[in-house]
Amino acid sequence: MRVLLIGSGGREHALAWKLAQSPRLGALYAAPGNPGIAEHAQLVVLDTADNEAVLAFCKAETIDFVVIGPEAPLVAGLADRLRQGGIAVFGPSAAAAQLEGSKGFTKDICARYDIPTGAYQRFTSAEPAKAYIRREGAPIVIKADGLAAGKGVTVAMTLDEALDAVDSCFAGAFGDAGAEVVVEAYLDGEEASFFCLCDGTSALALASAQDHKRVGDGDTGPNTGGMGAYSPAPVMTPDMVERTMREIIEPTIRGMAESGHPFTGVLFAGLMITAKGPELIEYNVRFGDPECQVLMMRLKSDLLTLLHAAATGTLSSVDAEWRDEVALTVVMASKGYPGAYEKDTPIDSLPPEDANTKIFHAGTAQKDGKLVATGGRVLNVTAMGSSVSAAQQQAYAVLDRVVWDNGFSRRDIGWQAVARERN
């Protein structure tokens, strides 16, 4: 199979690394890619926001299958255009991508299919939203409806904080994404990320992971795209996985099919495991970054076969097998991230990898023959171990041998699970 991978982050490096191991792979291209991806794929200069240009490339290079990593091209209808052009695609249509693109859309599906999630209301102006918040009281959660790069959510512990969040949304703090606001009940529990493949009518559970969204140790400081992750998530016991599939994922797949927008691709459920069981916080319509990196380390099955089955409605004929060990990844970011940071700082040396360690590239580039950091999140240092503690120790041992003066990382990825293992 001749495959084109769209994207340039650590998630796509992990996908490229795993796709390259497939016996069914003929050729792998990536656009725009990065220096890590270039070890497994031929990089293509292509404007991935230009759906026609991507289709033209696929025709010219007789591409059989396109794997779309990030959400932006999905929301922009790249999967629709390629399918119209007769090319198999891993990733949902723009209509189905609303599961990530519109929080209100997802909440309405939850209401219609009785999917457990926080009680909510949608608002298009401030005063009714504030009246609702005063009635419900704090803690309460305020969300800009649209895509706001993970920054559109305020978990307000006080009434004043909640009312301020409503004002800032409608004042345009998140641009068009905040033209509508969802106010939602606060859910108390432990968070987990859960991934499954979908082919429009059925779903195949993949694995779980836990992310670390805050920039600082002990989960302090501002939110980021994710500073580290590990898989599996200890809270996702076999019983919780079974309930998540039955109570959350399967009704969503049914609801999307019944609405005329069947979901194909990977469904990433952000869950809160509360005293009542799993409740949905949000959906993403792509692999998590950096969660994908730990999933790919643990996946034993052929990734190309799995993704192609999801894209072609044949998911019931495949299965996913996993290594029992824990995989853990630590994000190295440019100093200053998630605020402003210096670009093109030199990464002088990367340590060697072995069967249980891997450094995925996220925001790197080659400039004048040297590796430099171009992004906020730059490297994902990943290791396998027999426990979270063992994987953590191994990942930091590798990370400490990376020579990059402008880089930093959290030092406590996996801390909750490590504390549990000590008890």
Binding residues for ligand AMP (CB under 6 A): 118, 141, 150, 153, 155, 184, 186-187, 191, 213, 270, 281-282
CB atoms under 10 Å from CB of 350, counted, come to: 18
- The dihedral built from the CA positions of residue 181, 278, 316 and 29, taken in this order, carries a sign that is positive
199 or 282: CB nearest ligand AMP? 282
Strands (DSSP E) found in 347-403: 357-361, 364-367, 370-373, 377-385
Q: How many residues bind ligand GLY (CB under 6 A)?
A: 7
Residue 10 near ligand GLY by CB under 6 A: no
Quote the least distance from Cβ 278 to ligand AMP, whole Å: 13
Question: What are 371's strand-pairing partners?
Answer: 366
DSSP labels, 312-342: TT-GGG----B-SSEEEEEEEEETTTTS---
For ligand GLY, which residue of 80, 289, 302, 325 counts as binding (CB under 6 A)?
289
Residue 288 near ligand GLY by CB under 6 A: yes
Name the amino acid, one letter, at 380.
N
Quote the least distance from Cβ 380 to ligand GLY, whole Å: 11
Q: How does 63-83 read in b/e, with b if 16+ C-beta sit within 10 Å?
A: bebbbbbbbbbbbbebbbbbb
133 or 391: CB nearest ligand GLY? 391
Quote the least distance from Cβ 91 to ligand AMP, whole Å: 20
Contact 402, 373 (CB under 8 A): no
Binding segment for ligand GLY among 116-124, 284-292, 370-378, 383-391 (CB under 6 A)? 284-292
- Return the one option of ligand AMP, ligand GLY, none that residue 326 interacts with (CB less than 5 to 8 A, by type): none
- Return the one option of ligand GLY, ligand AMP, none that residue 128 interacts with (CB less than 5 to 8 A, by type): none
Cα distance between residue 6 and residue 12, in whole Å: 8
Which of 69, 9, 16 lies closest to 34, judged by CA?
Answer: 9
For ligand GLY, which residue of 12, 145, 247, 291 counts as binding (CB under 6 A)?
291
Quote the least distance from Cβ 370 to ligand GLY, whole Å: 29
30 or 285: CB nearest ligand AMP? 285
**Pairing verdict, β 120-123 and 364-367:** unpaired
Interface pattern 223-262 for ligand GLY (x via CB under 6 A): --xx------------------------------------
Quote the least distance from Cβ 300 to ligand AMP, whole Å: 29
Quote the least distance from Cβ 225 to ligand GLY, whole Å: 6
- Return the one option of ligand AMP, ligand GLY, none that residue 289 interacts with (CB less than 5 to 8 A, by type): ligand GLY
11 or 107: CB nearest ligand GLY? 11
Collapse the DSSP code of 285 into the 3-class scheme (helix H, G, I; strand E, B; otherwise coil) and give the result: coil
Residue 208 near ligand GLY by CB under 6 A: no
- Return the one option of ligand AMP, ligand GLY, none that residue 233 interacts with (CB less than 5 to 8 A, by type): none
Collapse the DSSP code of 92 into the 3-class scheme (helix H, G, I; strand E, B; otherwise coil) and give the result: coil
Task: Give 311's Cβ-side CA count (13 Å radius).
Answer: 22
Tokens standing for 394? 């191994």
- Return the one option of ligand AMP, ligand GLY, none that residue 282 interacts with (CB less than 5 to 8 A, by type): ligand AMP
Q: CA-CA distances (angstroms) from residue 30 to 16, 44, 188, 253, 322?
A: 8, 6, 41, 29, 26
- Return the one option of ligand AMP, ligand GLY, none that residue 118 interacts with (CB less than 5 to 8 A, by type): ligand AMP
Quote the least distance from Cβ 177 to ligand AMP, whole Å: 11
- Return the one option of ligand AMP, ligand GLY, none that residue 184 interacts with (CB less than 5 to 8 A, by type): ligand AMP
Residue labelled with tokens 């989960």: 219
Question: What are 407's strand-pairing partners?
Answer: 334
Residue 12 near ligand GLY by CB under 6 A: no
Which of 284, 254, 252 lies closest to 269, judged by CA?
Answer: 284
Binding segment for ligand GLY among 134-142, 178-186, 283-291, 305-313 (CB under 6 A)? 283-291
Binding segment for ligand GLY among 176-184, 285-293, 320-328, 413-421 (CB under 6 A)? 285-293
Cβ contacts of 198 within 8 Å, gap of 6 or more: 204, 249, 253, 263, 264, 265, 266, 267, 310, 315
For ligand GLY, which residue of 284, 305, 356, 409 counts as binding (CB under 6 A)?
284
Collapse the DSSP code of 194 into the 3-class scheme (helix H, G, I; strand E, B; otherwise coil) and give the result: strand
Binding site for ligand GLY (CB under 6 A): 211, 225-226, 284, 288-289, 291
